[in-house]
Amino acid sequence: MITGTGTLFSLAAADALGAATEFKTPQGIAARYGQTFTDYQPGSVFGFAPGEATDDTQMTVATLLGYARGDGLGGVLAAQREWLAAGPPDVGGLTGAALRLAALDGGVRAWQGSRFDGAGNGGLMRIAAVWIAGFRGTALARESAAVTALTHADPRCVYASVFLTAFLEALADGQPYAGAADAALRFSDNFDARAALLDTGLFGIDTREAHTAFRERERQARAEVRARVRSGLGGHVTSQSGFVLDTLEAAVKHAGAGTWQGCVEPAVLLGDDSDTVACVVGAIAGARELKVPPALLPPLRLGHTWPGWQREWACAEHFPRLVQAAQQA
């Protein structure tokens, strides 16, 4: 199983485990499920059945379907809009607002329209797709910035994604956990995301205010990403909320364990936005080539149907072909 495919399985299985505990408290989770969490369970607030992955994996798959079309960023946006048009049960507020604008710069416009309020994890949760699709180095960073900004243009969101995909690349190259994080932080600190977004046309005449806001907040955003990664490496979790830096910190903390289960289970048991945190943890664990428990793979499905993906399709059957198509486009 090539690393990209293994990472897609890893993040999807982790997401599907977290689906049952999303928005629940640790106390409520322990009372209902016990002190361990090793198999898919009922109880999703959005009605996902045991073994069904949520919007996190759905949008990752939509991104890969977009790449498989061979139309670059435009293909990714079209695939994400088709996913939204099919009425998924869970859509983040900024994600929905951006995709409904039907423009490449919809994420920038949505951020500008919100008066630059909001830095959710809706870009971070799907950004592993860019690395899975085969982007590497500076091209990986540029694409990660642009794909994130399709819906989440706040510089904290953008630089969190740039860090995460650089981290995946360093881990897959065999660097030790803390060393890979250090290398990814150095890369992110020296990367000019604003220039990348300008080059892709996401900042333009009608979004000059957003460009100014991004420029003014960019340095602080890098510093906040750096601080949260360091905090996660130090074993701290502020929260598992939907705030992008909370998700990043928690994922870095959890994903340093020695086994796949040891990485994912703490994220699931802490609840709150557990599916997204677990999904990001699963991506990191996949890049580390930690093995998903075999029993979790046969029942794995996506919990929504839209053009290009049917809910009844087994991920074990379709993921390898999807990754191959995205990488070859």
DSSP designation for 24? -
Report how far apart, in Å, the C-alpha atoms of 183 and of each of 20, 111, 141, 187, 315 are: 35, 30, 13, 6, 32
CATH number at residue 231: 1.10.4080.10
Tokens of 309: 């993906």
Question: Which pLDDT belongs to residue 51?
Answer: 98
For residues 210 and 251, give the distance between their C-alpha atoms in angstroms, rounded to a whole number: 29
Domain that residue 62 falls in: 3-328
For residues 217 and 223, give the distance between their C-alpha atoms in angstroms, rounded to a whole number: 10
For residues 208 and 108, give the distance between their C-alpha atoms in angstroms, rounded to a whole number: 10
Question: Which pLDDT belongs to residue 329?
Answer: 84
Tokens of 255: 């994903």
Closest by Cα among 175, 187, 83, 190 to 129:
83
Q: pLDDT for 28-76, tens place per residue?
A: 999 999 999 999 999 999 999 999 999 999 999 999 999 999 999 999 9
Q: pLDDT for 104-131, tens place per residue?
A: 999 999 999 999 988 999 999 999 999 9
- Domain count of the fold of the chain: 1
Q: What is the pTM of this model?
A: 0.98
